[in-house]
Amino acid sequence: MEPEKPSFFSTRYIKFLGGRNTFFTLIMLLLIGLVIMIYDKISFIFVPLTVFLGNVILPIILAVIVYYLLRPILRLLERIKIPRVWGILIIFLALIGLVTLLVFLVFPFLKAQSTKLVAEFPGYFIQLINSLDTFLRTSIVSDYYSQIETQVNTILKDLPTEIGEFIQSTVTGIATGISSIVGVLTSFILAIVTVPFIVFYLLKDGEKLPKFVMKLFPPRMRDDLQSVFHDIDKQISSYIQGQILVSMCIGFMIFIGFSIIGMDYAFLLGVIASVTSVVPYLGPVIAITPAAIIALVTSPFMLVKLAVVWTIVQLVEGKFISPQIMGKSLHVHPITIIFVLITSGSLFGVPGVILGIPGYAILKVIISHFYTLFKRRYNKYEPVIENHYEYTNNKVD
């Protein structure tokens, strides 16, 4: 038998680096970098695609959120032998009635409180500044505060001129950017108008979409794809339905608590808390800020009562509501959630903050499935599963 000829991959240095796999990995990374560089040079070609996605992504996201909120109701109607199309029509009629009720009964009261708060909030803020000024003048840091106050007064002397220049530049910017504002407003209105149509077809045919996508792949991949789609669907539905229910509970408890302690604008502050609580961890901080300013200006004792109400709400939400509604569906550590929110907010702004957690959950599902497939291929100790989808369901059950 002839001795095996030495090759490039049999050298000690290449073996030390990992052999053939490392070499191919480096080539793949080089190709990815080359693709990114080429894309950066010809990115103008994809501008129409970017514009299309920018106009389509908002109504699709809104429609998906509404779809996951309405799907359990539709399934409940189907269980009582109501056809799917008729169930969708019943849901739409109920939604129209609910929106009409909110517009005629709740919205006027909410608008009145919002207008009053906007008109009085500058007074609250000025009163808070005056109280803080009085406190600092009589505190142990009064000497340092006097030095800072001198610098502040110097800044305030030049403030009217700077404000005039700022207003002038702002008006000029608004005048030049009015077309873009109209374009954004038009896109938003079109998105709101198209959402009901997208929701209708999602409710009607949405469950057929994964099956259609799986038919595009080879049969041997369909079990794994079915498992991926099932887990993604479970993650998204659990997050959207759970987060909306938790936010509504928080807003209701805030309204009840603030009404008991006699806080002004209790209903409006409850609505603000409900809306901002959609964003974990960061939302409650945003919601408590206006309430804390109003309480601090009203009286120190009101601030103490506010702290008690807020603590009780957070304890009830953290110990009872969220574990019962959300459970452990996302399996995401709180520190990870904070970093995801910061990163997604820095990259994509407010939409990134809202969609960062479900996007991370979807990405985590995909990566975990690919990692499982990788282990099954290269690890001889990993058990071979014929039907991963059935295995996952049995494991969950």
The answer to whether position 293 is within a domain reads: no
pTM: 0.67
The answer to whether position 322 is within a domain reads: no
Amino acid letter for position 92: F
Angle at 194 between CA 190 and CA 200, to 5 degrees: 170
The answer to whether position 377 is within a domain reads: no
Coil/strand/helix, residue 265 = coil
Q: Could you tell me which residue, 165 or 278, shows the higher pLDDT?
A: 278
- DSSP sequence for 67-105: HHHHHHHHHHHHHTT--HHHHHHHHHHHHHHHHHHIIII
130: enclosing H helix or E strand = helix 107-137
Q: Which residue bears the tokens 């039907």? A: 387
The answer to whether position 73 is within a domain reads: yes
The answer to whether position 190 is within a domain reads: yes
The answer to whether position 99 is within a domain reads: yes
77 Cβ neighbours under 8 A, 6+ residues apart: 87, 90, 91
The answer to whether position 5 is within a domain reads: no
Q: What is the pLDDT of residues 20-70, one digit of tens each?
A: 667 777 888 899 888 888 887 877 777 777 777 767 777 888 888 888 888
Residue 105 structure tokens: 């009964």
| Residue 396 pLDDT level (bands cut at 50, 70, 90) | very low
Q: What is the pLDDT of residues 379-389, one digit of tens each?
A: 655 555 555 55
The range of the structural domain enclosing residue 69 comes to 57-137+173-216
57: enclosing H helix or E strand = helix 47-79
| Residue 234 pLDDT level (bands cut at 50, 70, 90) | confident
Question: How many distinct structural domains can be found in the chain?
Answer: 1
Angle at 344 between CA 340 and CA 349, to 5 degrees: 145
Amino acid letter for position 344: S
The answer to whether position 189 is within a domain reads: yes
pLDDT of residue 69: 87
Amino acid letter for position 242: G
